[in-house]
């Protein structure tokens, strides 16, 4: 029997939602500083209006629904789901006010793409977008990559119980430190340290390539926030191609890899445990899948014969493959140029996008940890067939420590993998139903669902509204990895049919 939610349930959800909306208001006000630096008057008012609405709505919810009740698992999951939707709707306001989006739906698409660290964009005339709004697009990625709830439990939410339930609801299951709050703050520490280093290196490269100091710093800040959080936005319509710089591309490769690593692995490396990087099941699986898929992409490019020279194959093929596998979406080709690749090379990118990077990182997709566990399970089953029936087979894998493979882990990995596959094909079928070719439709759907951002040209201002909504839902569901979404659906059903 379904139990109908009570008014107390609604109250606690809206109270914590109000707290997070206040946090969104604070971060929405930060581009005002950029506006003052670059002397942009209208954008300052856009962000004043937007942040003011956030503060007003958040404080109203906090005041009306104030409670001391702790979050349950259901409450935590629901707060996460609703927080991401509210962040999209509220974050879309300053973007829409910029007049660089054809509709509010398009600005919602852009906001969700940023928050979910996807990188698909519907910005009109991106190259003339104000510094303030451009910074905000990339800052949405930085905030979404760490996690909206990470922000909340770092600065706004008190108490381990509620914090952990929201932390898990945002598709992060691993605590790096004993307290989930200290874990969240460590994630912020890693991100800020890498931010300083990354912006410094990129700025030096930019200046060496002839950019002015202010331009080099701004571009580097935007590129780092998009790269480390595996988002893929760029401050220019040509994305990374705009810079026409091999050193710049190399630095972004390093940033993409750092963003795709598990924050728990970062902690091990920071603690001096360098061997972890060659022992961890995630890094091992990622490396071998990257090499295997690179062979597929390389064969596809050779088959196509559109490039000549080893360096060109590596620069075009490997860069886009790593961008796809880490879920970043940076590109040094236009979508029309990428569309010229052979079907085999395109399938290689689709496979890389679908797998994604590490768990507890800023990347999306199925995650290589799940792939590694599934492969370990396959190995265990093969041993059971080959060895005598009396043999006791214990399979282990290394993930910061030795872990015994258990059935519940395998079930969880297979379930989430199946859900992603269904989501990938769902979006593809919607696009095919609207008249797009299947391979292109599948590519775009996987890119949205796995929060990648590479495109073959389907994502554009003129695409049907139903497809925009489909991709928004895919980006949202793919980023939160289903469990909190299922909780929301169950809550809605019990609200209607519960007793």
Tell me the per-residue pLDDT of 70-85, one tens digit each, with 9 for 90 and over.
Answer: 777 788 888 888 999 9
Tell me whether residue 92 is in a domain. yes
pLDDT digits (tens, 9 = 90+) for 48-70: 999 999 999 999 999 999 988 77
At 233, list the tokens.
């936005």
Residue carrying the six token digits 């969700």: 112
pTM: 0.92
User: For 362-379, what is the mean pLDDT?
Assistant: 90
Contact call for residues 228 and 187 (beta carbons, < 8 A)? no
Tell me whether residue 13 is in a domain. yes
Tell me whether residue 279 is in a domain. no
Q: Which of 192, 246, 264 is nearest to 224 (CA)?
A: 192
Q: Which of 470, 496, 280 is nearest to 373 (CA)?
A: 280
Confidence check: pLDDT of 159 > 50:
no
pLDDT of residue 421: 96
pLDDT digits (tens, 9 = 90+) for 226-238: 999 999 999 999 9
pLDDT of residue 162: 54
pLDDT digits (tens, 9 = 90+) for 327-344: 999 999 999 999 999 999
Confidence check: pLDDT of 88 > 90:
yes
Show the domain range for 60.
Answer: 1-168
Confidence check: pLDDT of 416 > 80:
yes
Q: Which of 487, 476, 486 is nearest to 450 (CA)?
A: 476
Tell me whether residue 116 is in a domain. yes
pLDDT of residue 151: 63
Cα–Cα distance measured from residue 381 to residue 403, given in angstroms and rounded to the nearest whole number: 18
Tell me whether residue 249 is in a domain. no
Residue carrying the six token digits 């789901």: 81
Radius of gyration of the chain (CA): 22
User: For 261-273, what is the mean pLDDT?
Assistant: 85
- Give percent of the chain above pLDDT 70: 92
pLDDT of residue 184: 73
DSSP string for 332-352: SS-HHHHTTS-HHHHHHHHHH
pLDDT of residue 160: 41
pLDDT of residue 145: 82
The DSSP call for residue 313 is I
Tell me whether residue 16 is in a domain. yes
User: For 31-52, what is the mean pLDDT?
Assistant: 95
404, β-bridge pairs: 396
Cα–Cα distance measured from residue 308 to residue 305, given in angstroms and rounded to the nearest whole number: 7
User: For the chain, what is the domain count?
Assistant: 1
Quick one: which H or E segment has residue 230? none
Quick one: which H or E segment has residue 38? helix 31-38
Tell me whether residue 8 is in a domain. yes
pLDDT of residue 153: 60
């Amino acid at each position: 029997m379904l139990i109908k939610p009570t008014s107390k349930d609604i109250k606690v959800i809206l109270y914590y939602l109000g707290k997070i909306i206040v946090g969104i208001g604070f971060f929405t006000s930060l581009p005002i500083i950029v506006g003052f630096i670059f002397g942009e008057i209208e954008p300052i008012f856009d962000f004043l209006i937007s942040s003011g609405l956030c503060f007003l709505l958040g404080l109203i919810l906090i005041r009306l629904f104030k409670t001391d009740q702790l979050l349950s698992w259901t409450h935590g999951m629901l707060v996460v789901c609703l927080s991401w939707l509210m962040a999209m709707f509220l974050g879309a306001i300053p973007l829409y006010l910029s007049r660089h989006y054809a509709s509010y739906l398009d600005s919602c698409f852009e906001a969700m793409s940023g928050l979910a660290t996807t990188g698909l964009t519907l910005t009109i005339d991106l190259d003339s977008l104000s510094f303030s709004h451009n910074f905000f697009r990339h800052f949405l990625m930085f905030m979404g990559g760490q996690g909206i709830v990470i922000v909340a439990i770092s600065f706004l939410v008190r108490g381990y119980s509620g914090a952990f339930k929201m932390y898990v609801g945002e598709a992060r299951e691993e605590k790096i430190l004993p307290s989930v709050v200290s874990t969240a703050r460590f994630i912020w520490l890693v991100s800020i340290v890498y931010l300083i280093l990354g912006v410094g290196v990129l700025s030096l490269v930019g200046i060496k390539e002839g950019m002015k100091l202010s331009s080099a710093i701004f571009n580097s800040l935007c590129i780092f926030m998009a790269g480390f959080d595996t988002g893929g936005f760029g401050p220019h319509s040509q994305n990374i191609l705009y810079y026409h710089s091999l050193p710049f591309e190399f630095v972004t490769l390093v940033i993409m890899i750092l963003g795709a690593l598990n924050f728990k692995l970062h902690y091990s490396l920071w603690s001096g445990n360098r061997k972890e990087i060659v022992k961890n099941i995630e890094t091992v699986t990622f490396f071998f899948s990257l090499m295997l898929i690179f062979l597929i992409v390389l064969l596809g490019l050779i088959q196509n014969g559109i490039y000549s020279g080893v360096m060109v194959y590596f620069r075009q093929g490997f860069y886009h493959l790593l961008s796809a596998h880490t879920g970043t979406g940076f590109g040094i080709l236009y979508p029309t140029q990428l569309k010229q690749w052979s079907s085999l090379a395109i399938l290689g990118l689709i496979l890389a996008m679908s797998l994604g990077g590490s768990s507890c990182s800023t990347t999306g997709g199925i995650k290589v940890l799940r792939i590694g566990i599934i492969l370990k399970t396959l190995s265990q089953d093969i041993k059971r067939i080959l060895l005598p029936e009396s043999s006791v087979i214990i399979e282990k894998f290394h993930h910061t420590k030795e872990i015994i493979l258990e059935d519940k882990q395998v079930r969880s990995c297979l379930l989430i993998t199946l859900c992603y596959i269904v989501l990938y094909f769902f979006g593809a079928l919607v696009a095919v139903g609207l008249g797009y070719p299947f391979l292109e439709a599948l590519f775009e759907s996987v890119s949205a669902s796995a929060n990648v951002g590479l495109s073959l040209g389907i994502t554009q201002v003129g695409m049907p509204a139903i497809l925009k909504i489909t991709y928004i839902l895919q980006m949202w569901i793919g980023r939160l990895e289903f469990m909190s979404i299922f909780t929301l659906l169950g809550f809605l059903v019990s609200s209607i049919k519960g007793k």
